[in-house]
Amino acid sequence: MHATGPAAGLRCQPVALPTLGQRVRGGPAQTSAVRPSSSTQAPASCSRRCSSSSGLGYQQPTRRLVHARSAETEDDGFTAAPNDMQEARIIVITSGKGGVGKTTSSANLGMSIARLGYKVCLIDADIGLRNLDLLLGLENRILYTAIDILDGECRLDQALIRDKRWKNLSLLSMSRNRQRYNVTRAHMVQLCEAIIALGYQFIILDCPAGIDVGFINAISPAKESLIVTTPEITSIRDADRVAGLLEANGIYNVKLLVNRVRPDMIQKNDMMSVKDVQEMLGIPLLGAIPEDPQVIISTNRGEPLVLQKQLSLSGIAFENAARRLIGKQDYFVDLNNPHKGLFQKIGEMFSN
């Protein structure tokens, strides 16, 4: 089931969020505001404070107060470029089948969008395992995770790890070195709402493999989804199943990213083409990423492909997909000749 946002008509009253041992009743909590500063005090009109063990672990001021003061708490030296976005976008990247490149896609798309001037938060929603920090080179800087926030052991700003290369890109990990944690859909909604209150324009959730409770939790706060698949029949079947589950949970804005495409095999009819995959699934195509050995190199170095000085073909394809995702580009990159798509577009303009 798809979790809804905070109820309309919220009043300026501090609300204690549910602790880990409490069952969430009646849907998500009525507020998800999170104060990223330990020195924050209750407003003058507030006669009480939330306990440090409640919900996200510190005072929950009203939604209106958070929006009014979010500029004060985010003193990171970065101001998001003006744009035509009406509200923050929460995108879940999923596939159903493991090993198709969800985490690689999350890292590169998130980095590309951040480089375009948007404030982006990447959430590694895999509670049991985490890998997104490795692809970004941030594994040594993670001291707290989202689980610590829910336990009341840290603040949100302590768990958000800012990338040193691009200050408007942050990572929030959910994994913890202990037994599986009982994260609910309400918790996911609260975390995303709190991150949006800090001024983030994009939240990208790296969904765990499978369609169990981890998948349901990851898609709960999302309004749109990106399905990653490879041109293999097993991956396509799982992607089709995931597309049905997304629609059943109220997520209708779904796009397709075909990964690990090999044009040489397509020409020999040994691999399905991108068009074939897109027609089988019936999902709008966002982009196609070619098979590239640079992916392994960039993963080991903790540097996304899109940050390389000389972009490989897959890096260009990720940049292209990111620009299409935010509506700044409407043509596709030719996998055989990455510059051909642009020149063809210009030639068509003059020929008409």
List, for residues 248-280, the tens digit of each pLDDT value: 999 999 999 999 999 999 999 999 999 999 999
Question: Rounded to whole angstroms, how far apart are CA atoms 219 and 90?
Answer: 9
Instruction: Name the nearest CA neighbour of 176 among 127, 134, 133.
Output: 127
Which residues lie closer than 8 Å to 92 by C-beta, 6 or more apart? 125, 204, 205, 207, 218, 219, 222, 224, 225, 226, 251
C-alpha distances (whole Å) from 156 to each of 55, 108, 232 are 12, 24, 40
* pLDDT at residue 323 in the model: 95
* pLDDT at residue 255 in the model: 97
* pLDDT at residue 50 in the model: 39
List, for residues 160-199, the tens digit of each pLDDT value: 999 999 999 999 998 766 555 678 999 999 999 999 999 9
Q: Which of 9-18, 47-56, 215-224 comes out lowest in average pLDDT?
A: 47-56
Asked if residue 53 has pLDDT above 90, the reply is no
CA atoms within 13 A of residue 64's CA, in its CB half-sphere: 8
pLDDT band at 45 (very low <50, low <70, confident <90, very high): very low
CB-neighbour burial class of residue 106 (10 A; exposed 0-12, middle 13-18, buried 19+): buried
The rounded mean pLDDT for the chain is 78
pTM of the predicted model over 0.75: no
Instruction: Name the nearest CA neighbour of 304 among 141, 182, 194, 169.
Output: 169
* pLDDT at residue 132 in the model: 95
Instruction: Name the nearest CA neighbour of 290 among 278, 274, 276.
Output: 274
Region 39-56 average pLDDT: 38
Instruction: Name the nearest CA neighbour of 290 among 323, 266, 325, 308.
Output: 266
pLDDT band at 339 (very low <50, low <70, confident <90, very high): low
The residue ranking higher by pLDDT, 349 or 145, is: 145
Asked if residue 12 has pLDDT above 70, the reply is no
Give the dihedral of Cα atoms 161, 164, 165, 166; nearest 10 deg.
50
Helix, strand or coil, per DSSP, at residue 123? strand
Region 110-139 average pLDDT: 94
Q: Which of 12-16, 58-62, 312-316 has the highest mean pLDDT?
A: 312-316
Residues in the chain, how many?
352
Question: Rounded to whole angstroms, how far apart are CA atoms 219 and 189?
Answer: 10
* pLDDT at residue 158 in the model: 94
Q: What is the CA radius of gyration of the chain?
A: 21
The tokens describing 224, both together, are 């749109």
pLDDT band at 49 (very low <50, low <70, confident <90, very high): very low
* pLDDT at residue 218 in the model: 94
* pLDDT at residue 304 in the model: 95
Classify strands 202-206 and 120-124 as parallel, antiparallel or unpaired: parallel
* pLDDT at residue 32 in the model: 38
CB neighbourhood size of 94 (10 A):
31
Question: Rounded to whole angstroms, how far apart are CA atoms 150 and 96?
Answer: 27
* pLDDT at residue 85 in the model: 62
The residue ranking higher by pLDDT, 116 or 30, is: 116
Which residues lie closer than 8 Å to 34 by C-beta, 6 or more apart? 56, 58, 60, 66, 149, 155, 156, 194, 195, 197, 198
Question: Rounded to whole angstroms, how far apart are CA atoms 31 and 107?
Answer: 29
* pLDDT at residue 51 in the model: 37
